[in-house]
Structure 1
Amino acid sequence: MFRTRTLGLFRLFRFELPFTAGVCVILGELLALGKLPTTTEIVLGFLSIFFISATSLILNDYFDIESDKINAPERPLPAGLVTERDVVLLSIVVTMLGFITGYLISLEALLVVILVWVVGFLYNWRFKKAGFIGNLMVSFSVGMTFVFGGIAVGKPFEIIVWFFAIITMLIDLGEEIAADAMDIEGDRQIGSRSLALVLGRENALKISGATFLLVVVASSLPFLLGWLEWIYLFPILLMDVVILYSTSKLLDSRIVNRRIYIRWIYLSGLVAFLIIIIIRMVR
């Protein structure tokens, strides 16, 4: 019984997602510093966002228990591996661990951690099915992982970190809208108010495409305004070319599998991000 409950609690974490969020913090630290952070900065930065991201996922299971009984009966709660009380207690413990590790970094880090936690709680509680507002909340949280990386190493106002945070937010927002359009039938079944359901699939994809085009426009501004050195232009141009091509395909209703182009956009941003980190570290 104890082993079954413990395994159920561990499954609530969905470790790959909090782990990815923690890695984004470390990448933000590398981007801000242009060199390797200290072990303490890496560990505390990673753990703080790992715990807060895990809390959001744990709460997701708590608030989605009724729909999971139908759509995902194998999840720990509907399967009876854990109780609702177990989930609430676990979320409190993991939240406190996130707050403590954030506080050990700095007061500013703690405030950001609390902000991200509040956004995650509100999303799970009220806005998961709210369509565009929910999309904004998710993309905001994703972008803030990089900002938190800068804060964790004492560089909260590093322009290149904020630049990539905004680019990441916009890319994720476009992906969220496009993914909803691809999964319009699933959203209809759960009563979501996604843009695809409200405005139609093709109109939602047009909004997604406009968001991706905004990424291309926004990516040029730091160079035109002299905020970033021209040495970083090549990876950004590479990303922009992939985004423009993928967006044109995403808007082509004749293509059956358009989901692959969402992945291309995501990968182009990741590759550009990694190249810029390498440039900063070898200079």
Structure 2
Amino acid sequence: MSSTVRGAVELTRPGNVVAAGVLTFVGAFVAGGAADYPLHTAAAVAATMLAIAAGNAINDYFDRDIDAINQPDRPIPRGAVSPRGALAFSLALFGGAIVCALVLPVLAIAIAGVNLVALLVYTEYLKGLPGAGNFVVAYLVGSTFLFGAAAVGDVAAGAVLCALAALSTFTREVVKDVEDIAGDREEGLNTLPIAVGERRALVVAALSLVVAVLASPLPYLWEVFGAPYLAVVAVADLVMLYAAYESFSDPTRGQFLLKYGMFLAVVAFLVGRAAAL
């Protein structure tokens, strides 16, 4: 594999791309339509993966100066991919995502359209605003579940999962801003930790997570899922709460643990839906 091809693959963040595709599938599965509408499910997963890959590539295009400080090993700063090449690659991926989304129901197409606009506005205007960029990223992650559910015709089934994912993602994004505060300050960005201080930003992040944890038993209380869901989501809650605590002393470790806690929360919904079949 040439260095340019390798760099292009790195631009997409393959791990994040696969994870986003899985989340969309989970949304369709939780909505009960993954087996009944396999083509719609596959198109939604493909559209999500292409859109996330495109978003990551164009984010690196706009962040190339910041990454030269915070992440000098990324493809553009190290010279593996040119800025113009990254931009062209991103536009091609966006085109593929749009083609895949056009076969889906109208509501799913509408969600995809809103997400595309939100992603572009975030990348160009909101990334460095206190809390605003974090909010948009949180919505985009949560909406992958909503998109998957809408693709099979039952958007309401993905709503709770969307909200819980968005709240926990907001927490992780704020912690990541604390981790990247040096480079963000150098570039003149006004992220939440810069605007209100690192500790206050982490308190806001922790409160968002507490809301998510308190809301996580709702599918059990509403008798949508049974005890297997509750057992797994309780473990996820504990991991994420510990991660939030750890973030005050070690933001890097904290956001790493949050990622795994969020993964366990997704597993909880899969277990809950499988047990309900």
Give the TM interval when normalised to the shorter protein. Answer: 0.7 to 0.9
Paired position in structure 2 for 1:275: 268
Contact 2:28–2:145 (8 Å) recurs in 1: yes
Paired position in structure 2 for 1:192: 189
Is 1:99 paired with 2:95? Answer: no
Give the CA deviation at 1:140.
0.6
Contact 2:25–2:34 (8 Å) recurs in 1: no
**Mean alpha-carbon deviation: is it higher for 83-92 or for 109-118?**
83-92
Is 1:228 paired with 2:224? Answer: yes
The superposition leaves residues 244-264 of structure 1 with CA deviations (integer Å, 9 ceiling, x where unpaired) of: 4444x347x6xx435434443
TM-aligned CA distance change 1:40 to 1:5, over 3 Å: same
Larger Rg: 1
Unaligned runs of 5+ in 1: none
Give the CA deviation at 1:78.
5.0
Give the CA deviation at 1:163.
0.9
Give the CA deviation at 1:186.
3.1
Number of equivalent positions:
275
Taking only aligned residues, the RMSD between alpha carbons, in angstroms, comes to 2.9
**Mean alpha-carbon deviation: is it higher for 99-108 or for 184-193?**
184-193
Is 1:217 paired with 2:214? Answer: yes
Is 1:33 paired with 2:29? Answer: no
**Mean alpha-carbon deviation: is it higher for 106-115 or for 95-104?**
106-115
For 1:133 and 1:14, how far apart are their aligned partners in 2? 23
When normalised by structure 1's length, the TM-score is: 0.83
The superposition leaves residues 210-242 of structure 1 with CA deviations (integer Å, 9 ceiling, x where unpaired) of: 111111222244555x36345343333333344
What letter corresponds to residue 228 of structure 1 in structure 2? Answer: V
What letter corresponds to residue 224 of structure 2 in structure 1? Answer: L
For 1:153 and 1:95, how far apart are their aligned partners in 2? 22
Unaligned runs of 5+ in 2: none
For 2:34 and 2:57, how far apart are their aligned partners in 1? 34
For 1:209 and 1:246, how far apart are their aligned partners in 2? 9
Paired position in structure 2 for 1:169: 166
What letter corresponds to residue 214 of structure 1 in structure 2? Answer: V
The superposition leaves residues 259-279 of structure 1 with CA deviations (integer Å, 9 ceiling, x where unpaired) of: 434443442332233133123
**Mean alpha-carbon deviation: is it higher for 7-16 or for 273-282?**
7-16
Paired position in structure 1 for 2:129: 130
What letter corresponds to residue 96 of structure 2 in structure 1? Answer: L
Contact 2:233–2:264 (8 Å) recurs in 1: no
Contact 1:9–1:87 (8 Å) recurs in 2: yes
Paired position in structure 2 for 1:43: 42
For 2:246 and 2:202, how far apart are their aligned partners in 1? 7
Contact 1:171–1:266 (8 Å) recurs in 2: no
For 2:242 and 2:21, how far apart are their aligned partners in 1? 30
TM-aligned CA distance change 1:63 to 1:275, over 3 Å: closer
Paired position in structure 2 for 1:208: 205
3-state secondary structure, aligned to 1:105: coil
